[in-house]
Amino acid sequence: MDWLTSSATEQGRAILAGLVSPVDLADGYLDAITRHPDAARIFARTTPDRARNEAVAAHDRAKAGLRRGLLDGVALSWKDNIDSAGVATQGGTRLLEGRVPVADARQLADATLQGLVCLGKTHMTELAFSGLGVNPGTATPPNSLDPALCPGGSSSGAAVSVALGLAAAAVGSDTGGSVRLPAAWNNLVGFKPTHGAVPMEGVLPLCQSFDVTGPIARTVEDCAEIMAVLTGRTAADLRGASIKGLRLLVLGGVPYEDAREGPVQAFEEAVAHLAAAGASITHATPPEAARAMALGTPLYAAEAYGLWRAQIDVAPDLMLPVTLARFRSGEQMTAPEFVERWTDLRRARVTWAQAVAGFDAVLLPTAPLLPPQADRAIADPEFFATENMLSLRNTRIANVLGLPAVSLPTGRPACGLMLMGRAGADRALLRVAAAVEQALAATAT
Which active-site residues does the annotation give?
79, 154, 178
Q: Which of 210, 190, 53, 185 is nearest to 118 (CA)?
A: 53
Q: What three-state secondary structure class fits 129?
A: coil
Compute the distance between CA of residue 271 and CA of residue 156 in angstroms, rounded to an integer: 27
Contact 190, 184 (CB under 8 A): yes
Q: Which of 156, 18, 187 is nearest to 81 (CA)?
A: 156
Q: How many CB atoms lie within 10 A of CB 93?
A: 27
Q: How many CB atoms lie within 10 A of CB 37?
A: 8
Phi/psi of residue 415, each to 5°? -115, 120
Compute the distance between CA of residue 195 and CA of residue 150 in angstroms, rounded to an integer: 27
Q: How many CB atoms lie within 10 A of CB 281?
A: 14
Supply the angle between the helices 48-64 and 22-35 in degrees, to the nearest 10.
Answer: 160
Bridge partners (DSSP) of residue 409 are: 416
Compute the distance between CA of residue 40 and CA of residue 38 in angstroms, rounded to an integer: 6
Compute the distance between CA of residue 124 and CA of residue 93 in angstroms, rounded to an integer: 9
